[in-house]
Amino acid sequence: MYTSTNIGYPYIGEEREWKKALEAFWRNDLTEGAFQAKLKDIRLARIDKQLKQGIDFVTIGDFTLYDRVLDTAVMFGLIPKRFEWLGGKVNLQTYYGIARGSKEAVASEMTKWFNTNYHYIVPEYEGQLLQITENTLLADFLEAKEAFNIKAKPTIIGPYTFFKLTKGYDKLSQVEYLLALLPLYVQVIQELVEAGASWIQLEEPAFVTTLDEAEVKLIHEIYSQLAIAVPQAKLLLQTYFDSMSAYESLITLPVQGIGLDFIHGHSANMEALRQFGFPQDKILAAGIINGRDIWRANLAEVCSTVKAIEQLSQAKELWLQPSCSLQHVPITVEHEIKLEPVLKNALAFADEKVAEIVEVTKYLQGQDDASKHKISDSMKAIEALKNHPIRNNQTIQQMIQNVSIEDFERHSDFHTRQRMQQQALQLPLFPTTTIGSFPQSEAVKRTRNAWRKKQLSNEAYEAFLAEETKRWIGIQEELDLDVLVHGEFERTDMVEYFGEKLTGFAFTEKAWVVSYGSRCVKPPIIYGDVVWEAPITVRETVYAQSLTKRFVKGMLTGPVTILNWSFVRDDISRKAVAYQIALALRQEVEALEAAGIAIIQVDEPALREGLPLRKEQWGAYLEWAVNAFKLATASVKDITQIHTHMCYCEFNDFIEPISALDADVISIETSRSHGELISSLQVNPYSKGIGLGVYDIHSPRVPSEDEMLGIMKDSLQVLSSNQFWVNPDCGLKTRREPETVAALANMVAAAKTLRQHVHHSIS
């Protein structure tokens, strides 16, 4: 028996209705009542669309006000004490304060959701008395039941994964935290069962990470407690992003269904089925359509995979679904009217992936003859793209074959380069700079939009950009920053901008996905061989440098970030694509250096998120990912200073790969997790130049000089004064000008105070 279902569906809306409503509410353009009404409309429209596509079992609880991990934390009363919550239902002011910060309190930390480009808000346990503030899952379940007369499948972040994502507890308090957490899960599940929920999905992506014996034992204890407390509940244990660890043990958990990813965990999950079988008293939810890419599936191969799963598992029932939530892909290909037909025909976004699930289910059930033709069509579409000339550039393919070890190495070691660069650049102690972008004002967005619509000439647009660059060079000089940037006003997105200038990329009009909060991006599509054709950033950088005697950084996005923040062709290895991008950027770096740019920043904020979820698989990825960065940057002279930037990831176990990049200076986020990084650097010292982001740009809050000075002084516990740079934790594109200028003024003042402090200590 086959049932079509979904793990989760995008909440953004086809026209980004969710984002627009959220930001209108933040601007006070929508009342809370109107805002909530708009969100209800979006929630119900998503369900209605899936039902009309023929999905058998709809999921609810995959919607959010900002972030689902934050939703779960707030539902459980896990409110940081600094927000002075007094109990009861959590109001939106407090909810969004945790996410974005407020005048009184800093935001909670934000980090990547496993190995994706989505960022979640990290729960904080401080010994609070946990309680159910509001069973939002129950409300969503009843809402769907009333609107559509269905019993949808509620989904929630599972207890083990939520426990592992939380910060604040230690070995002594973790038992206390779990004992407080589990009764809340029991209450939520019990109330859903009483309301008529036939199945409840517990998302446990942490089950695909490396698990030791103690962790497996803890998982068994958690699920045994749930089974004892709510024996009548039918629980679907849902894993994704890789194969399930400790398979032989975890399939015995007291749950009624298990979801496995047969895309990213295909080989290991299939082997586990061969070795250990599958419990005959459980349903198997099989992730058979890739929920993280945008390529049409070969439905004939998918059907063969389902048959193989069925034969190996002998499961009493198969649920067919995507490999993970579809929130990681855009909503529909339908609106992409400008894409090349051969490419467009090979694409599948969320709606198309739901349709694929439905078609495969119908075909296997023998219900629909038309599904046979659709299976055949999928094979033809894939073959047509495979034979496209853009995938068969012999020149770049030969260049990749010719890459040698020497291409990855700088001419001299770091300490030799550092002496030469210090002499050439003559920068003060604790040089101040920014990460690259400055606020994209309404005027910038409006002018770019007019230019794209051909309502403004190229000459007029370039004149506007030049004037905005000149204005911000002046602002930076007035602020007395040491190393300047041109501001990136010509760039909509740090990946899209470069992709537009390279071959092998395609761009969409409405293929948005959420990165964090209301921040949405349109990842480029790398569908062909990548080739550099002409300088990309040289003109803007050289112009900015002509306006000042201070150094202006060249600003590029690194090869691994371009790879990880794009939808990538699946017919060759990711390593091969990364090396193609790296060779293109190498030519751009050399062009900047030839034009007299002395400092070049090649950002790699997404390096870590590409890591496999199993630590034992990290080595192979890091070897080619680090080499891709070095391939892009290693050919410059010793005197040219290479910077890079990373943000929002756990650095405690990542210092060694960061050092292996051999960048002269790295800037990293530390404002939300400063203490942890300082502790990490005490254990794993870092010898190259480093800028610890001293304030959080994702919050409108302007930190004081003293606050930033405190972070800087703490940093000197683990860094020497000649390696420490001062900068914000990320680019400033999303901030407004007044708060940006105020925060940077405080940052520069703090750096000057620190210089005086150090000089005074020396004297």
Binding residues for 5-methyltetrahydropteroyltri-L-glutamate are 16-19, 112, 117, 519-520, 565, 609
Three-class SS string for 115-147? CCCCEEECCECCCCCCCCCCCHHHHHHHHHHHH
Is 759 an annotated catalytic residue? no
Residues forming the annotated binding site for Zn(2+)?
645, 647, 669, 730
> For residues 306 and 362, is the Cβ–Cβ distance under 8 A?
no
> For residues 619 and 640, is the Cβ–Cβ distance under 8 A?
no
Which residue pairs from 505-510 have beta carbons closer than 8 angstroms and sit at least 24 positions apart in sequence? 505/530, 505/566, 506/339, 506/340, 506/343, 508/330, 508/336, 508/339, 509/335, 509/336, 509/337, 509/338, 510/14, 510/15, 510/330, 510/331, 510/335, 510/336
Residues with Cβ within 8 Å of residue 146, at least 6 apart in sequence: none
Residue 502's DSSP bridge partners are 532
Q: Where are the alpha helices (DSSP H) in 315-369?
A: 341-344, 350-365
Catalytic residue among 335, 388, 698, 757: 698
Provide the b/e sequence for 225-258 (b: ≥16 CB within 10 Å): bbeeebeebebbbbbbbbbbbbbebbbebebbbb
Kindly write down the DSSP assignment for every residue of 238-284, as one continuous string.
E--SSPPTTHHHHTTSS-SEEEEESSTTHHHHHHHHHHH---TTSEE
> For residues 438 and 489, is the Cβ–Cβ distance under 8 A?
yes
Residues forming the annotated binding site?
16-19, 112, 117, 435-437, 488, 519-520, 565, 603, 609, 645, 647, 669, 730
Which helix (DSSP H) or strand (DSSP E) does residue 308 occupy?
helix 299-313
Closest among 564, 555, 566 to 589, alpha carbons compared: 555
Residues forming the annotated binding site for L-methionine?
435-437, 488, 603
User: What separation, in Å, do the N-terminal and C-terminal C-alpha atoms of the chain show?
Assistant: 81
Rounded CA separation 311/178 (Å): 39
Rounded CA separation 346/682 (Å): 50
Closest among 646, 586, 508 to 578, alpha carbons compared: 586
Tokens encoding 18: 């969710």
Residues known to be catalytic: 698
